[in-house]
Structure 1
Amino acid sequence: MPDFLLYLLAALIYITVAALYWRRTELATPWSQLAVASALAIHGWLLYRSLFVAEGMNLGLTNALSAIFWLTALIYWIANLFHDLHRLQAFVLPPTALIVVLQYAFPESHLLTYAAEPLFRAHLAIAFAAYSLFTFAALHALLMAAAERALHRKPSLLRLPDFPPLIGMENLLFQIIIAGFSLLTLTLVSGVLFSEQLFHKAFVFNHKNIFTIISWLIFGSLLGGRWKYGWRGRTAVRWTLTGFGILLLAYLGSKFVLEVLLGRT
């Protein structure tokens, strides 16, 4: 089967499962879980072939986005086995479908010749897991915002068939943030070790590292505010989205400027 058909198939499965929920003809069944699993398998195989090439690792912008959203969709799929999270498919699956299409339509090349270094691979795996958890947290925060507006009967662009209890959603959000914050801390530590090993500098003051630290401080402050002051609801949503936005600028913003606007590899 030609590659473009595989990309199209994965995107169509993602978007179909999400659309069926929006139409309320499909909520949570083994069929939807199986469908998402098949899309993840196809997407994962295409991503593996695109990432690992003979010259090393191709970590171009669209490949990086695809890896993050593949992991985000995988986290959703696994979490949905243990929690009632099917409502999140309306938030997680459409952007994942879009990224699959972008990965095929706009392939970017950014070869990393040092990708075989064990410390770098560990750093990259931890970083991608952290980014994916915070992507999942941000999408979950949007679901919380939509649920809160629906509860107060406020007008909203997002109209879903039903919502889970807000307290449960809030508890899950902070569980995700704690996991993401732990991995982001490990990302910073492993980044320092990797930089020291490869570039003989423990820390480089560039906008990527500075924005990552700012995001780490925001999420750390949110967890501290939750513990000390009981922050919740809109406050938690706003801090989560702000921290995620800055984290997005830290990594993907720098890749977009370098690879797309400046054309560097």
Structure 2
Amino acid sequence: MPILLVIVHLLPAAFYLAAWRASGAPGRGADLLLALGLIAHAASLYHEVLGSGWRFGFAPILSATLWIGVIILWLEGLQVKVQALRRVVLPVAAAASMLPLLFPGADISAQAARPLFVPHLIVGTLAYGVLALAALHAMLMTATEKALHGGAGPAPDSAFGRFLEELPPLLVLERILFRFIAVGFVFLTLTAASGVLFSEEVFGRPFVADHKTVFSVIAWAVFGVLLVGRRLRGWRGRTALRLTLAGFALLLLAYVGSRFVLEVVLGRR
């Protein structure tokens, strides 16, 4: 494996982990390290997808997903305190940025020649990124709610107790969650619409209701129902968290899960 390729993928991981370690320190050092990590991660994604022709698979998708998620996390950090959430996401992003070294994915140069294939791929990745962060956010909210309402709660001087103190209030976390879901739903709508209505331009074949399409549409419906329920009936709390996690699980089954089975379990490209 070329040493330059290894360095390209190690740099974002190094910056993310450095930002993770500095996230609790005063000053803007963590923000600078995070920005450098995002730039290095973008370079690694460019090299992975375009460096030797178009390549894409479950590992590059996960890497791109976490890259988008970290960008949104950085933007949210401009308004609210998200250091605790950052400590959860950054190690995952560091691992995901190195994963394409082991699983580079399939060559999609032929498909990339189709007029709408690349926009469909980009918008789909954006949908996964935003909704992945929403799912992580929902898991944090679930753990926080259980700790706060499940009895005595963690000791204030424990690691988890300090972690809870750094989180914004639950109402703020919930507002951020629905912001992520709304943005992700827009991207997911564009992805589903382009795949269903412009299948010839995207995939080079008539529309086929395969398992990937079915799971994507069901996930889209779950997030749509959640947003409508939030607006009309004020859905929040455990209902919102469960539907968020269920919707993202369906997205994983729609693409990432199928690619993992093909590339890792069955050894296909």
Specify if TM > 0.5. yes
Match of 1:176 among 180, 184, 192: 180
CA contact (8 A) 2:13 2:37 kept: yes
Partners of 1:138 and 1:240 within 8 A in 2: yes
2:16 corresponds in structure 1 to 14
Residue identity matched to 2:108: L
Q: Distance in 2 between matches of 1:53 and 1:35?
A: 25
SS at match of 1:113: helix
Paired with 1:186 and 1:96, the residues of 2 have a C-alpha distance of 25
Residues 176-195 of structure 1 aligned to structure 2 (within 5 Å): 176-195=180-199
Give 1:113 shift: 1.2
1:243 aligned to 2:241? no
1:177-196 superposed Cα distances (whole Å, 9 cap, x missing partner):
11111211111111124313
- Map Cα deviations across residues 82-114 of structure 1 (whole Å, 9 max, x no partner): 333222102211111111222223333343412
How many equivalent residue pairs? 259
Aligned mates of 1:217, 1:196 — CA distance in 2 = 24
TM-score under structure 2 normalisation?
0.87
Aligned to 2:25: 26
Q: Is the 8 A contact 1:218 1:239 kept in 2?
A: yes
- Structure 1: which 5+ residue stretches go unaligned? none
TM superposition shift of 1:79: 2.4
For residues 49-92 of structure 1, the C-alpha deviation after alignment (integer angstroms, 9 at most, x for no partner) is: 1101454x100221121111111112212222233322210221
Shift of 1:158: 8.2
Separation in 2 of the partners of 1:31 and 1:20?
7
Shift in CA distance, 150/184, structure 1 to aligned 2, threshold 3 Å: same
Distance in 1, matches of 2:116 and 2:72, equals 24
Among residues 208, 219, 226, which one is paired with 2:223 in the alignment? 219
- Supply the AA of the counterpart residue of 2:92: P
* Structure 2: gaps spanning 5 or more residues: none
The residue type equivalent to 1:146 in the other structure is A
Structure 2: distance between partners of 1:262 and 1:105: 15
Q: Residue 71 of structure 1: which of 57, 68, 73 is its match?
A: 68
Counterparts of 2:28 and 2:137, CA distance in 1: 22
**Relative to structure 1, is the Cα distance of residues 221 and 118 closer, same or farther in structure 2, using a 3 angstrom cutoff?**
same
Q: CA RMSD in A?
A: 2.3
Match for 1:185: what amino acid?
T
The runs of 4+ residues in structure 1 deviating greater than 4 Å are: 155-158
- CA–CA distance in 1 between the matches of 2:73 and 2:113? 29
Q: Which amino acid aligns with 1:61?
A: F
16, 34, 38: which one pairs with 1:40? 38
Write the distance in 2 (CA, Å) between the matches of 1:118 and 1:36: 34
AA aligned to 1:256 is: F
